[in-house]
Chain A
Amino acid sequence: MPDDDAREDAHKNGDTRVEEEEKETAPAPDDEVAAAVVERFPGTVFHCSHGQPVVYVDRAVWAELGGFLRDEQQFTQCVDVTAVDHLVDAARLFVPGVDPERFEVVASFLSHPRNRRIRAICEVPAEDATVPSLTDAYPGANFGEREVYDLFGIAFTGHPDLVRILMPDDWVGYPLRKDDAPARVPVTFKEDPRPR
């Protein structure tokens, strides 16, 4: 499996960061919001990424997480929804307790009254690329989810208007997937006839 290979490669390279993560089996959330999330949704893994709190949740509870953050944790805005394709990673950040899949959907939240941020990540397998939508709790996630659908092909169930937003409506393929080529046109110059 590509992810395991990547991890093996990382071990071989002696990437210290990966080894550090392995030493801690279940880091205690030192961020109170993350602790609340871990308590409310068992199975959530907390990770501190360069000083920023990140919670890895199961995608089944994605929409509920949105409601929880908005209603009980005063996270007033969902700032960004995006996705990552880890198909060809040379080395992937390994967080213990998280079962890595090909795609990750990432949502960033901001709480104005508490002046803090939190990031939530859920793993999405390639063969069943669907995630519940955050638009019930955060209508502002609408465009972000459409963009993820358009560029990655991850469908959001419960989204009011899941159609392509950036590519033409009849486009075939999902451009930001790693197996979708950038489609670079070979460039030729007058003096140098080889196409670059």
Chain B
Amino acid sequence: MSDTRGGTRDDSDVRTPDDEHDDELAPDPRLTRQTDEGAQELQQTRDLVVTGGPWPEVEGEGDTMIINMGPQHPSTHGVLRLMLELDAETIVRAKPVVGYLHTGMEKTGEELTYVQGATNVTRMDYASPLSNELVFSMAVEQLLDVEVPPRATWIRMYLNELNRIASHLLWQATNGLDLGALSMIIYGWREREETLRLLEKITGLRMNNNYIRPGGVAAELPDGWQDDTLELCNLVEKGTAEYDELLTGNPIWQERLVGVGVITTEQALALSATGPILRSTGFPWDLRKSQPYLAYDQVDFDVIYTENGDCYDRYRLRLQEILESVKIVRQCVEKMPPGDYRVQDRKVTPPPRARIDESMEALIHHFKLFTEGFKVPPGETYVAVESPRGEVGCYLVADGTGKPCRLHIRGPSFYNLQAMSPMMEDRLIADAVAVISSVDPIMGEVDR
């Protein structure tokens, strides 16, 4: 209704419900009705008004809520799905659901020859592919009863430690990202890129290298690798010192990590957890020292372990392990023995490419090796090495043909995920992210 009073602008403009001017300015009847009804509605349902008043006793209050986290979520740990049972913000129970990256690699492994096998296993733990290749190659060599020449052994050890540096730097970066320290992911990739560049120079690829093969390694180290390595070592040490300064004493970092995700040695052992999780509980078990393989008994390094079993300890542990790996790498540069980079048995390793043009035999061997592969006598073996995530093992059953009867890789993250549930119970959701990150699962080896 238009107001056609005109003239004086006084308080008579203002409408109030009990204003006598209402008679003249009959408001829209629909409006009134709505308002009346609305007001009545509000009256009746006053008990459920959100903005104030006491909450009524709703039935089912105190029940827990089950919420799903993942498999697609911004944490960079791949496709892990967590079913969380929550009581307000506290996690009552946590159950990891895996299988979202199951690739059938063990089935594929039965279809590939032993020469091709390294390409398959390398993609399981894709953050440290050379560990997988190493454990597979060692299992095959054990079944074949061949011994790898010392230079190949030292090259393998050198590459594994480079891989450990790259993997732990990746972990530092993603841990920072998960906890909100975004500068950490930008800086963490700095040294990792340099490490990957060196790996590319040596193996040909940044990741999934397919370089450690049964019989030795695929090719000789390139010229100038010693200088490049020492330069990298200096860079990594400098970078690690920076991250230490940035984060270790940082009160926010400590608030988020100290006392979070605590696990005891008994729990970790019972749940088959290995690697940094076990070492953070005060249990100094490292396969490189306790059951040495390759040439680890000839280099000098310390096993890092901490006492409290919380996420902060695991952070410090992995940071320190980078420095221990740098120590080992420096010693590899000094002590690398001369010799062959792969075993000379022509039935196992292909001849050098130049020989193919000269010798018919070499050509035939090359052909047969890359088409049929070599045959491994029947047997079974289990070999384990220490990857950045724990004990990675290969259980290999051979049946006399050129392809394995059964290739099983014991992925450390698969068993470490079992340890994640007790770490998360009775903690807040925000701590769940810190815990997942400190368990460091790589879903490729969880699901295979």
Name the CB-closest residue of A to B266: A76
User: Is the Cβ of B381 less than 8 Å from the Cβ of A164?
Assistant: no
Interface residue? B380 (CB, 8 A): yes
User: Is the Cβ of A166 less than 8 Å from the Cβ of B272?
Assistant: no
Cβ-neighbour of A106 out of B273, B384, B395 (below 8 A): B395
Cβ-neighbour of B382 out of A119, A144, A176 (below 8 A): A119
Interface residue? A85 (CB, 8 A): yes
Determine the distance from Cα of A54 to Cα of B382 in the docked complex, in whole angstroms: 10
Name the CB-closest residue of A to B95: A161
User: Is the Cβ of B142 less than 8 Å from the Cβ of A108?
Assistant: no
Name the CB-closest residue of B to A116: B291
Interface residue? A139 (CB, 8 A): yes
What is the distance, in angstroms, from A67's C-beta to the closest C-beta of chain B?
13
User: Is the Cβ of A49 less than 8 Å from the Cβ of B381?
Assistant: yes
Interface residue? A26 (CB, 8 A): no
User: Is the Cβ of A50 less than 8 Å from the Cβ of B272?
Assistant: no
On chain B, the number of residues with a Cβ less than 8 Å from chain A's Cβ atoms is 45
Determine the distance from Cα of A52 to Cα of B139 in the docked complex, in whole angstroms: 12
Interface residue? B73 (CB, 8 A): no
> Which residues on B sit within 8 Å (CB–CB) of A102?
none
User: Is the Cβ of B98 less than 8 Å from the Cβ of A165?
Assistant: yes
User: Is the Cβ of B415 less than 8 Å from the Cβ of A143?
Assistant: yes
User: Is the Cβ of A143 less than 8 Å from the Cβ of B395?
Assistant: no
A33-41, A57-65, A90-98, A123-131: which lies at the B interface? Answer: A90-98
Interface residue? A80 (CB, 8 A): yes
Interface residue? B179 (CB, 8 A): no
> Given A80-B393, A84-B406, A115-B290 in contact, is the A49-B379 Cβ separation under 8 Å?
yes
Interface positions of B from 390 to 431, Cβ below 8 Å from A: 391, 393, 395, 397, 399-401, 405-406, 408, 410, 414-415, 417-418
Interface residue? A17 (CB, 8 A): yes
What is the distance, in angstroms, from A142's C-beta to the closest C-beta of chain B?
6
- The chain A residues found within 8 Å of chain B, CB to CB, are 10, 13, 15, 17-18, 49-50, 52, 54, 76-80, 82, 84-86, 89-93, 106, 108, 112, 115, 117, 119, 138-144, 147, 151, 164-168, 175-176, 182
In the complex, 26 of the A-B residue pairs with CB atoms within 8 angstroms, ordered by the A residue number, are: A15-B377, A50-B145, A79-B393, A79-B410, A80-B408, A80-B410, A84-B406, A86-B405, A89-B399, A89-B405, A90-B401, A91-B399, A92-B399, A108-B382, A112-B290, A117-B382, A139-B271, A143-B414, A143-B417, A164-B99, A166-B102, A167-B102, A176-B107, A182-B107, A182-B108, A182-B111
